[in-house]
Chain A
Amino acid sequence: MAANPTFRTPVVAQPTPELREKLEHMWSDKPGLIGWFSTVDHKKIGKRYLATAFIFLLAGGVEALGMRLQLAQPNEHLLSPQLYNQFFSMHGMTMIFLYALPILSGFSNYLWPLILGTRDMAFPRLNMFTYWVFLLAGIFMYIGFWNGKGTDVGWFNYVPLASRTYSPDWNVDIYSLGMIFLGISTTAGAINFIATAFRTRAPGMSISRVPIMIWGTLTANVGILFAVPAVSLDFFMLWCDRQFGTHFFDPANGGRPLLWQHLFWIFGHPWVYAIVLPAMSIVSQGLPVYCRRPLVANSAVILATILTMVLGFGVWVHHMFSTGLPVIAMGFFSAASFVIVIPSAVSVFAWTATIWTGRPVFTTAFKFFAAEIVLFVVGGVSGFMTAAVPLDWQLTDTYFVVAHIHFVLIGINVFPVIGGIYHWFPKMTGKMMSEKLGRWNFWLMFVGFLVGFFPMHISGLLGMPRRVYTYPAGMGWSDLNLVTTIGAFIFALGALLFVVNVIRSLAAGQKAPANPWDADTLEWAIPSPPPSYNFDVIPRVGSIHPLWEDRLEEQGDRTIFEPGAVLDHEHEIPGTTVLDAEPDVILKQPSPTLAPLITALLIAGVFVGMLMAMWWVALACMAALIPALFYWFWPTVETGWAPRHPRERA
């Protein structure tokens, strides 16, 4: 049938206004509410991820400010102990699960197809599905907070405290089921990124020409694929212990509380790299643009990224040094934790050398990226210190560890993220952000961060335990805590200025050209904001810096933007080989559909039913998932199946 031949030779041509009009008509969404709910456009999904994750960041930030007010002075009574427990648990859960990874998924969803020179992700419907599940799981995990049922035993939720005996109410049930629910989104997202990276790069983008930002996110998502099942299983077993009286963690009947900790940290430590490696790759991608030169030792940084992730699976026991494990195990995991410093240092030296040998332009984005290097070094050193078993025994569960986790997570996640927004905001919205407000934004956040979090090292060394809701006067902690609280509010003021800058720039920002920073990768070759189809003709990539080729004066291939493959039969993108990125298939991509939303809502129904022990609700939703998935995957000519024809005899 002409509608879907088995083979076709792609037309290579110059883009024409007629072609653009045709593609715009094909790729744009339906108008109105249905269009909003049924879109599978990676750019819209990316922006929704960014906005939603940022709202969770603000929620987690408000919880943090509440804690800081409570701790500003000794013997305060602003928050009750029960409320304080919920504040610090919800804060950890929100920041680590609902902000840190989703915000990076937002960047990746928006940017990957643009950087890869194509029109969409490998699985557009799955992409939309991951967002809906993330949103619904986030709401699910927050539903109890308003009436005192927010999770309240810390984000790592240790048993036996988290068991039914000591936490009888819904708090831990909501957290447990919410984490399993959220894990569906994270895993599906990882699958999508992996397939996209290996399958849909523009022709010519061989493995050696893949920009570093792709490497960072790809590495993290391979890690996620193998790490998240551990925590989903852990929470599943805990929920079974609580709901059905199983004995996974119950020592009286053959279970072991330490099993919880093993599974949690087998997940937990790779997760740390999952939420920092993509952010580090944002720095590796953005910083060189402002240094006006390619990243120093690009290949070494990529290999170091992969090595960090691999080693990250072998260090989980350093979270458990004080649990009484055999000395030989602690020795091994301590050594592995020291080794991981080496690949991390490769990135730091490469960034520093890039600034050193470049001609830095001190934009706001540059400042955030450069600050990341400083904070990473401080956070890295405090991590290195606690990799030593005796020091860890002294410092575990003190504010020293709180300082460490905030230096690495704010330093290597929040700073690159804010810098990344300043860098890519013009591309995403077509508007420039204010550099003047940006300066205030940066310095308030940077100074506020150091004033707020550095003293925590000292209060930790002075013995202040984490997770206490108050402390007596005369311990030597009072002044340090007051300084910390002041710093936290300066930091929050800086974050507020960022929000102001985003809103102001959206409303009245200067119009952005296609490539305001004179950057090197493919997303800057198309208009700001990009049209719904991204590239009118698919470029053929000739190097890792497609837009800098003439200036770098390297020998070899050049990127060809036009003429390129036209691919204008409905939603089509080229599929290419893994290593050489030679086109070997024309992939047919789905058009907008409500199937992902319906599926996500039914899964939410399953979890609500499980939470409330209304088993018929859970079972009914599970049964309804079967027709929903049939609807999702039903073969159509448009998605590349054979046209339906009468039954043939063999």
Chain B
Amino acid sequence: MSANVYDERTPPRPLPVGKAGYRTGGWWGMLALIGAEAALFAYLLFSYYYLQSQHAQTWPPTGLPPLRYSIPSTVALLISVATMWWAEHGIRVGRRVVSQAALAITLLLGIAYVVLQFLDWRIEPFLINADAYSSLFYAITALHVLHAIAGEFILVAMIIWSVLGHITQQRHIAIGIAAMYWYFIVLVWTAIFITFYMLPYIGPG
């Protein structure tokens, strides 16, 4: 075989190296991880709706949930979607300081969500071992908080690596991957918020 055969079919062309470009292995890895995590929360919500469907008395058994902290925390997370997008867009157009600032704001909003969720737990009228509803409530919200904290550590890593100069306009896929995870966190929270804090107000109870 001559060297030409290879060349004719795919003339070698310049390829992005390493983390340059959009579709690194990490992008696929994050997509698959999100698939597994989405399944986890789907099964959690399945358990909730299953036990609700098997429940003869009023639901939730302890009355309507408090909204004092859950609405602000939801708003914080929804705003963080915009700031996360801003961070990704900023690095893409080469504005690293803007991107770092947007990452920091996203991080603060994420921390605000975690703090508000802790405050929400303090005003709930039950503990985790009260009944099946309380067990589900704490298990689902706590697992989500754990995932959010993991996401916040990823944001910290992004800020550090951006400041150190590892993330550049040419190699910014890491922020894109972190953003995928963060959007997923917020999406799951909206499902949890609707399930625990909205449906009891509008559902048949």
Q: Is the interface of A mostly helix, strand, loop or mixed?
A: mixed
Expressed in whole angstroms, the minimum distance between the Cβ of A264 and any Cβ of chain B is 11
Q: Is the CB of B161 within 8 A of A583?
A: no
Q: Is the CB of A635 within 8 A of B29?
A: no
Q: Is the CB of B16 within 8 A of A194?
A: no
Q: In the complex, A244 Cα to B24 Cα: how many Å?
A: 42
Q: In the complex, A195 Cα to B14 Cα: how many Å?
A: 23
Q: Is the CB of A262 within 8 A of B131?
A: no
Q: In the complex, A233 Cα to B36 Cα: how many Å?
A: 12
Expressed in whole angstroms, the minimum distance between the Cβ of A231 and any Cβ of chain B is 9
Q: Is the CB of A584 within 8 A of B21?
A: yes
The contact sample of 27 A-B pairs, CB cut-off 8 A, is A9-B12, A12-B12, A13-B3, A126-B29, A191-B29, A195-B29, A199-B28, A226-B36, A232-B40, A246-B128, A246-B138, A247-B132, A247-B135, A253-B130, A255-B135, A259-B50, A262-B46, A262-B50, A562-B1, A565-B12, A588-B17, A588-B18, A639-B18, A640-B20, A647-B165, A648-B96, A650-B98
CB neighbours (8 Å) of A246 from chain B are 128-129, 132, 135, 138-139
- The 7 A-B pairs of least Cβ separation, nearest first, read A640-B18, A254-B132, A246-B135, A229-B40, A195-B28, A245-B129, A635-B166
A182 interface residue (CB < 8 Å to B): no
Residue of B nearest to A583 (CB): B15
- The digit string for A203-235, where 1 denotes a CB below 8 A from any CB of B, is 110000000000000000000011111101100
Residue of A nearest to B167 (CB): A642
Q: Is the CB of B157 within 8 A of A228?
A: no
B9 interface residue (CB < 8 Å to A): yes
B51 interface neighbour in A199, A256, A626, Cβ under 8 Å:
A256
B3 interface neighbour in A7, A9, A563, A583, Cβ under 8 Å:
A563
Q: Is the CB of B51 within 8 A of A646?
A: no
Q: Is the CB of A587 within 8 A of B25?
A: yes
Residue of A nearest to B101 (CB): A650
A649 interface residue (CB < 8 Å to B): yes
Q: Is the CB of A5 within 8 A of B5?
A: no
Q: Is the CB of B131 within 8 A of A254?
A: yes
A400 interface residue (CB < 8 Å to B): no
Q: Is the CB of A575 within 8 A of B6?
A: no
Report B56-114 residues with CB < 8 Å from chain A CB. 61, 94-98
A142 interface residue (CB < 8 Å to B): no
B171 interface residue (CB < 8 Å to A): yes
Report A275-293 residues with CB < 8 Å from chain B CB. none
Q: Is the CB of B20 within 8 A of A6?
A: yes
Report B1-53 residues with CB < 8 Å from chain A CB. 1, 3, 5-7, 9-10, 12-21, 23-25, 28-29, 32-33, 35-37, 39-40, 43-44, 46-47, 50-51
B47 interface neighbour in A13, A245, A259, Cβ under 8 Å:
A259
B164 interface residue (CB < 8 Å to A): yes
Residue of B nearest to A194 (CB): B32
Q: In the complex, A241 Cα to B134 Cα: how many Å?
A: 12
Q: Is the CB of A248 within 8 A of B25?
A: no
A233 interface neighbour in B40, B50, B96, B130, Cβ under 8 Å:
B40
CB neighbours (8 Å) of A575 from chain B are 23-25
Q: Is the CB of B51 within 8 A of A587?
A: no
Q: Is the CB of A248 within 8 A of B132?
A: yes
CB neighbours (8 Å) of A540 from chain B are 6, 9-10
On whether A187 and B36 interact (CB within 8 A), knowing A12-B12, A250-B132, A640-B19, the answer reads yes
Q: Is the CB of B25 within 8 A of A641?
A: no
Q: Is the CB of A587 within 8 A of B24?
A: yes
Q: With contacts A6-B17, A639-B19 known, what are 5 further pairs, Cβ within 8 A?
A: A7-B17, A245-B128, A248-B51, A575-B23, A585-B16
Q: In the complex, A465 Cα to B188 Cα: how many Å?
A: 44
Q: In the complex, A433 Cα to B162 Cα: how many Å?
A: 54
CB neighbours (8 Å) of B198 from chain A are none
Q: Is the CB of A585 within 8 A of B1?
A: no
CB neighbours (8 Å) of A562 from chain B are 1
- The digit string for B161-191, where 1 denotes a CB below 8 A from any CB of A, is 1011111101100000000000000000000
Q: Is the CB of A7 within 8 A of B25?
A: no
CB neighbours (8 Å) of B167 from chain A are 641-642
A200 interface residue (CB < 8 Å to B): yes
Q: Is the CB of A254 within 8 A of B161?
A: no
Q: Is the CB of B15 within 8 A of A9?
A: yes
B36 interface neighbour in A190, A203, A204, Cβ under 8 Å:
A190
CB neighbours (8 Å) of A588 from chain B are 17-19
A122 interface residue (CB < 8 Å to B): yes
CB neighbours (8 Å) of B94 from chain A are 650
On whether A248 and B47 interact (CB within 8 A), knowing A9-B13, A584-B21, the answer reads yes
CB neighbours (8 Å) of A633 from chain B are 157
